[in-house]
Each structure stands twice: as C-alpha cells, then as structure tokens.
Amino acid sequence: MMLHTFNSSDAYRLHGHRPSATDLILLIEDAVFITTQQDLTQDHRIRVLREDLAQRGLPEPRAITCITYTDWVRLTVESQHCLTWTR
C-alpha cells in the first residue's frame, strides 16, 4: 500500500488518477477544499487531515475518514512508499 498525499486541488486534478485501487489518498492543506467541490464519498481510499479542515473553517465530511496528525504518522509508517504531489 502506498500513501499519496495531495496539498492542493490542482495537484489532485493533475495526479489524482495515479494512486491504484489499493493505495490511500490523503488530502492536506488546500486540497481539503476538494471535499466541498466533489463527491468523494464513494472513494474509500480518501483520508482528510482534520486539522487542515478546521483551520479552513470546513466541516468534517460525513462519509469521508478524517484523520489526525498521529494517524498520519501511523499511515506513513505502515505504507511502503509515501508520495507527495504538490502544486
């Protein structure tokens, strides 16, 4: 399993197709705005950093898993590779 981290909507638009079905996708920083623009509830690979949602005044999406920094560290340790897609 690989962890693909996206930090902006642009990064997700450009590279969101790259994670495979068994990978995880973590939205951080301005990428959390995607939760307000797209219906990601069917994609069970998606994780959203709770702290970055809160900092932007966004509510936690109901059907998407929100994680803490501690969870992020755990995912990083558990993943074979961590890929960060920035823009």
Which stretches of the chain bind other proteins, using CB under 8 A? Answer: 2, 14-15, 17-18, 20, 80-86
User: Is the Cβ of residue 13 or residue 50 nearer to other proteins in the bound state?
Assistant: 13
Edge-first strand listing for the sheet containing 2-6? 65-67, 46-49, 24-27, 2-6, 81-85
Tokens 């996206």 belong to residue: 6
User: Is the Cβ of residue 15 or residue 50 nearer to other proteins in the bound state?
Assistant: 15
Burial of 33 (0-12, 13-18, 19+ CB in 10 A): middle
Minimum Å gap between C-beta 61 and other proteins is: 26
User: Is the Cβ of residue 44 or residue 81 nearer to other proteins in the bound state?
Assistant: 81
